[in-house]
Structure 1
Amino acid sequence: MSNDMYEEGLNKTAANFAALTPLSFIERAAAVYPNMPAISHGAVRRDWAQTYARTRRLASALSTRGIGVGDTVAAMLPNIPEMVEAHFGIPMIGAVLNTLNTRLDATTLAFMLNHGEAKAVLVDREFSAVMREAIANVDRPILVIDVDDSEYAGPGERIGELDYEALLASGDPEFEWAPPSDEWNAICLNYTSGTTGSPKGVVYHHRGAYTNAVSNILEWDMPKHAVYLWTLPMFHCNGWCFPWTVAARAGVNVCLRKVDAKTIFDLIRRERVTHYCGAPIVHGLLVNASDELKAGIGHRVHAMVAGAAPPASMIEGMERLGFDLTHVYGLTEVYGPATVCAQQAQWSTLDIGERARLNARQGVRYHLQDAVTVRDPDTLQAVPADGETIGEIMFRGNIMMKGYLKNPAATQEAFRGGWFHTGDLAVASRDGYVRIKDRSKDIIISGGENISSIEIEDVLYRHPAVLAAAVVAKPDPRWGETPCAFVELKAGATTSAAELVAHCRAHLASFKVPRSVEFCELPKTSTGKIQKFELRKRAGSVAAIDV
């Protein structure tokens, strides 16, 4: 007979249990540090009390317009204050934030708005043209709210029913928002291309957003009032949960509409930026900038890199800048980074080549993630930690999506055997660090963004001259990887690389367009399957073209 004395009379109540939610971070920041800076964006300067009041106004105004628990609110915004506010104001009423990739085409955006059943969308004026086209193909009424950023002077008209500031003016700054009744409730929806042309909707919960935000602090030893520069898009995995991380530290959100080396260095000097994140292209941009742009930074800056392993030249360049570089790894399904290449003190005595080799590994689990492992995808047995036996990287724990929206079959397959299957092939080192060897899903990571090779191939197959097509990743010094297309033409058909690129540009977002095209007879197995591993060997020598 079991002893239940630790259960009898010891009930979960409002006094001793609260659902974890990152929304609590902004409430605390405003209460404890109301006058500390929260937002810096051009001439805009706001403290935490003002920012909290604005998020409550947003929640209140959306609520009066019939938006509530379980409703989706999309945001087509760059890294501006309104995007920070959306990460709090929208989930304050139990609604779900869907941040849209600002690089996508209208067809894909329309799919996301329809699939996610968005009831409202915030639209920055810069993206009004593509959003007007996307919204025209939405099959339900949608409230369109214009965001007119004072730092944007380019083209673009207002397409919405009302302006964001007018919306906030109608809201209550003392709005009594409620935390989620269950920390398992959805907080955000993020779309990932996966391995097919149809995006999958990854659903985040409050518990995962909370635990990843806290893990970010722990991995970086991030201090109070850190100054965080938004070089990483907030549309990408909710900025790796850093809108909530910064609030937890009552730090400063230094907003940035567009990544530009001069602007970044100017902001680092002026705002005394202490932390920023980004894909390798961002760090490479800074390392390769002129000495004139780099001059005058006398304080320590902490940088996080993900999307591809940092090469020795990048690590060396960051060290010369006085920047401390941390390599992390993850996927949309695990809220951005969920492993870190935790640096050991003894590494500092090693030469740059060995340090680069160690820092190139994807590392160990985040503090509040339960586990990361390398296992045989069929037997689910852990592979030997010998640095040679290849298996699949798998995760389990709190920093994990609820699943794929409206796709139970894909969710079940992803969680097969009690582990999340990443599709990334890796080895485990003797010290427990994991290192990716290949990408089983044929995903191309360009500038930190995932590109489905199948989606590009589908477009190429639509060209009347194309008999067969295969797309693989081509190494690129700036973007990390770019799409490289191998094309076999129909008998008697003719076309050019430029024509195929133009064809792709008409159907794909610009960053998905192949940067290289080679005409050849595609290598195939005896059953007719294209041998992509052979094409990967060739891709490095294929000349790039001007796209």
Structure 2
Amino acid sequence: MHQTSRAAPSTVGHSILDAADRWPERTAFILAGRSVTYAEFARQTETAARGLLALGIKPGEHVGVLMPNCWDYAVLVGAINMVGAAAVVLNARYRGEDLRFVIAHADITVLFTAGIGRPHLDLRALLCAEFPELARWHDGEPLAIAAAPKLRAVFHFQAPEEETWATERVFAAGAATVSADILAGRIAAVRPEETALVIFSSGTTAQPKACLISHRTLNDVAGAVAERLGLVQDDVFWDPLPFYHMSSHLPLNACRKVGAAYLCQTHFDAGEALREMEAWGATICYPAFPTLTAAMIDHPDFAHRDLSRLRLMLNIGAPELLRKFAAALPRATQIACFGLTEGGGISVMSSPEETLEQRVTRVGRPLAVHAVRIVDPDTLAEVPAGTRGEILIRGSIFSGYYKEAEQTDKALGADGWLRTGDAGWLDPDGLLVYAGRIKDMLKIGGENVAAVEIESFLVKHPKVKMTQVVAVADDRLVEVAAAFVELKSGETMTADELIAYCAGRIASYKIPRYVRFVTEWPMSATKIQKFKLLESFTPTGKIDVASVLRRQPEASK
């Protein structure tokens, strides 16, 4: 049996050992057809933790992980937290300047990467391109990188035989030199308020900011999520999201609270997702982002898979889109949520007991460890219930931005309320209505229009799978809507057809003046990056809406 007293309560190390003591033989983690019990996951994590101690990792040190979702990734993050270091979970989509910036800014001392994604994703080559010194470096030699002076070693797991960097064999050899007693002392010394994760929030126009997430915040929010969803031992929690995102770490830690199984993917594939959910008997489906859910429902295998064990699914998106998802999986209760990395990942979540209408038009109530206020974004004065304003959060949230005191002060007021930059209001039942980003607004001919309002309407079209609306400059109206549209498989549509669909159904000034059909979206970790849609936009093919409407007399009445 593990001695759970070796770690303080509310630390990640404690949760891993505690789960191993309570449910040693229950399935803990499933990835790519491989499963492991809670006892075995703890054993693997402790072995990796000894490997970190052999490297001389100190408490509070920043250790980077740059990998696609893989087994080593999950074990390493737990091990880094066990020894009181901070796991810098890096977005495997980072390229060029972004990759160089995050590694240097986070003060990473040891970096772990993997060859699992080759040849499509060659992380070694990407790192060498940004840090040329790495191309000449051999394990055992001093590492000196001008752009990242604190980086002293890089490990390349699942690498080819000719690898010159440190490998998992070197890591395992070091682990064998550290005793269990030394490890136990380090685990017990970790405090809940120390940083467990460093996660870069996806920026829009500026460089990403490094959010510091403490052990206490991670564990408290995970526990509150488990409580809100009513997680039990028999649940199998399917989550395809990347390990560099709170949407993976929260469910993984929530499962540890109750002994449930966590089922994840190396990368999202709709057909494989459906197969795995059927094979493992998933009870909770957590795609979260509508691009993933829509891809599964639109997949030809969807109608033939047995997903009858699903009792909950969590998605965020426009109400009409959520209604489509609920109709496609009628046995699974549709859950929504609201959150951001700075707010601990999730701050507000629906309850299964709420009505369908509430669950698709609202995002729920604050979790037990959070409080929410709605304020005027200019004066920060609290507004009456039912009045739109900026959403503020207090409670189990991030500790601040690493090395950015000024940005931290802007986000966190003296009273500890986090400014989210998101708009919404509280209804008479205390449920939060999310109304999009405050800046995700269009000013069309003097009228304020939320992009999500137009998106919610366009997605009702039976041929439309997904849509995103951005504001573009216009000589007459100052701004107009440009709609980027992804169609369902096998469907075709013209821009005029979409505009005709709008006739008489929404105010004419809300009708898009530009339509762009797309087959893929520019993504950060899991969010569509609207600023990249704007970057790619050229003001050609402007639609004469009045002319289209004149050709649709019946629809425009």
Q: TM-score range by the shorter chain?
A: 0.7 to 0.9
Aligned to 1:375: 375
CA pair 105-521 structure 1, distance change in 2 beyond 3 A: same
Question: Given residue 368 of structure 1, which amino acid in structure 2 is its aligned partner?
Answer: V
**In the alignment, residue 537 of structure 2 is paired with which amino acid?**
V
Give the aligned partner of residue 432 of structure 1: 430
- Paired residues of 1:485 and 1:518 also in contact (CA < 8 A): no
Name the SS of the counterpart of 1:75 in structure 2: strand
1:28 paired residue number: 18
Q: What is the aligned counterpart of 2:222 among 213, 233, 239?
A: 213
Letter in 1 for 2:57: I
> Who is 1:262 aligned against?
271
Instruction: Return the offset for 1:520.
Output: 7.3
Distance 1:54 1:316, change over 3 A: closer
1:178 aligns with 2:187: yes
Tell whether 2:125 aligns with 1:132. no
Q: 1:283-304 deviations in whole A, cap 9, x for unaligned?
A: 2122222355543233234222
User: Partner residue of 1:9?
Assistant: none
Q: Which amino acid aligns with 2:434?
A: I
Alignment partner, residue 82 of structure 1 = 72
Alignment pair present for 1:39 and 2:40: no
- Equivalent position amino acid for 1:161 in 2: W
Residue 361 of structure 1: how far off its partner (Å): 1.6
- Residue by residue over 1:4-45, the C-alpha shift from the partner in whole angstroms, topping out at 9 and shown as x without a partner, is xxxxxxxxxxx9x95522322210121222222223233533
Q: 1:160 to 1:27 in 2, by over 3 A?
A: farther
Structure 2 CA distance for aligned equivalents of residues 87 and 318 of structure 1: 36
Q: 1:517 aligns with which of 528, 537, 541?
A: 537
Aligned position for 1:359:
360
Q: Deviations over 1:89-113 (max 9, x none)?
A: 0011111011111222132011011
Deviation at 1:179, TM superposition (A): 3.8
1:384 and 2:393 are equivalent in the alignment: no
Structure 1 residue 402 displacement after superposition: 0.5
Distance of aligned partners of 1:66 and 1:358 in 2 relative to their CA distance in 1, 3 Å threshold: closer
* SS across alignment from 1:300: coil
Partner of 1:201: 210
Determine if the alignment matches structure 1 residue 103 to structure 2 residue 64: no
1:486 to partner: Cα distance? 5.8
- Deviation of 1:148 after TM superposition, in Å, equals 2.1
Match runs of 1:471-482 below 5 Å: 475=455, 478=465, 481=468
Q: State how 1:19-418 maps to structure 2 within 5 Å.
A: 19-42=9-32, 44-125=34-115, 126=117, 127=121, 128=123, 129-136=125-132, 138-140=147-149, 141-148=151-158, 161-164=165-168, 166-172=170-176, 174=180, 175-176=183-184, 177-237=186-246, 239-278=248-287, 279-290=289-300, 294-306=304-316, 311-320=321-330, 322-344=331-353, 347=355, 355-356=356-357, 358-369=359-370, 371-385=371-385, 387=386, 389-397=387-395, 399-418=396-415
Alignment partner of 2:196: what SS?
Answer: strand
How has the CA–CA distance of structure 1 residues 18 and 58 changed in structure 2, closer, same or farther, with 3 Å as cutoff?
Answer: closer
Output the TM-score relative to the length of structure 2.
0.72
* Structure 2 gaps, min length 5: 133-144, 443-450, 476-515, 550-557
Aligned-partner SS, 1:314: helix
Gaps of 5+ in 1: 1-14, 150-155, 348-354, 445-471, 489-500, 523-536, 542-547
Identify if the C-alpha distance between structure 1 residues 300 and 208 changes in structure 2 by more than 3 Å, giving closer, same or farther: same
Whether the 8 Å contact between 2:62 and 2:85 is mirrored in structure 1 is: yes
Distance 1:34 1:92, change over 3 A: same
Q: Which residue of 1 aligns with 2:419?
A: 421
Amino acid in structure 1 at the alignment position of 2:237: Y
**Residues 329 and 339 in structure 1, CA contact (< 8 A), matched pair in contact too:** yes
Kindly tell me: are residues 67 and 84 of structure 1, through their superposed partners in 2, closer, same or farther at Cα, counting changes over 3 Å? same
Distance in structure 1 (CA, Å) of the matches to 2:233 and 2:24: 14
2:279 corresponds to which letter in structure 1? R
**Cα contact 1:226–1:275 (8 A) shared by 2:** yes
SS, match of residue 339 in structure 2: strand
Q: Distance in 1 between matches of 2:533 and 2:11?
A: 41
SS of the residue 2:429 aligns to: coil
**One-letter code of the match for 1:107?**
E
Deviations 1:103-134 (A, max 9, x none): 22132011011000111222121242323324
String of CA shifts for 1:174-214, please: whole Å, max 9, x gaps: 43242454321111111113453211111011110110110
Question: Take 2:85 and 2:418, find their aligned partners in 1: how far apart are those partners?
Answer: 26
Q: Could you tell me how far apart the structure 2 residues matched to 1:251 and 1:199 are?
A: 33
Q: Distance in 2 between matches of 1:406 and 1:485?
A: 35
Query: In 2, are the aligned partners of 1:487 and 1:521 still within 8 Å (CA)?
Result: no
Partner amino acid, structure 1, of 2:67: L
Kept in 1, the 8 Å contact 2:274–2:301? The answer is no
CA distance in 1, matches of 2:79, 2:441: 34
Q: How many residues align?
A: 449
SS in 2 for 1:162: coil
RMSD: 3.6
Encode CA deviations 1:239-266: one digit per residue, 9 max, x unaligned: 2522222222233232311211211111
Q: Decide whether the 8 Å contact of 2:84 with 2:190 is kept in 1.
A: no
Say which SS state the counterpart of residue 61 (structure 1) adopts.
helix
Q: Distance in 1 between matches of 2:467 and 2:63?
A: 33
CA contact 1:68–1:95 (8 Å) conserved in 2? yes
Residue of structure 1 equivalent to 2:555: none
